[in-house]
Amino acid sequence: MLTVNMHDAKSQLSKLVEQALSGEDVVIAKAGIPAVRLVPVQRNQAERKPGRFKGKVTLAPDFDETPEEVIAAFEGRA
């Protein structure tokens, strides 16, 4: 476990981030007392499953039909 004080962490942040990304435990201390731990963000890399909502989502039969009054309002004729 690598422990650095706040002042050193400010000047060596890029190096400390690289060390944390490589798996090293990095702790930043304030006045000699451990304050925070620098760790990589864990991303959920679950594999995408296309089609999982197939048959569960429906559209109204008139989905593609826009009423004339709505078209007129968009065109400034209403």
Collapsing DSSP to helix, strand or coil, 75 comes out as coil
CA distance 4 to 37: 10
Ordered structural domains, the chain, with CATH: 2-38 (3.40.1620.10)
Query: Running along the chain, 78 residues long, what does each successive block of 10 average in pLDDT?
Result: 94 96 95 94 83 91 92 90
Q: Give the per-residue pLDDT at 66.
A: 93
For position 23, what pLDDT does the model report? Answer: 92
pLDDT, residue 47, reads 83
Q: What is the pLDDT of residue 60?
A: 92
pLDDT at 14: 96
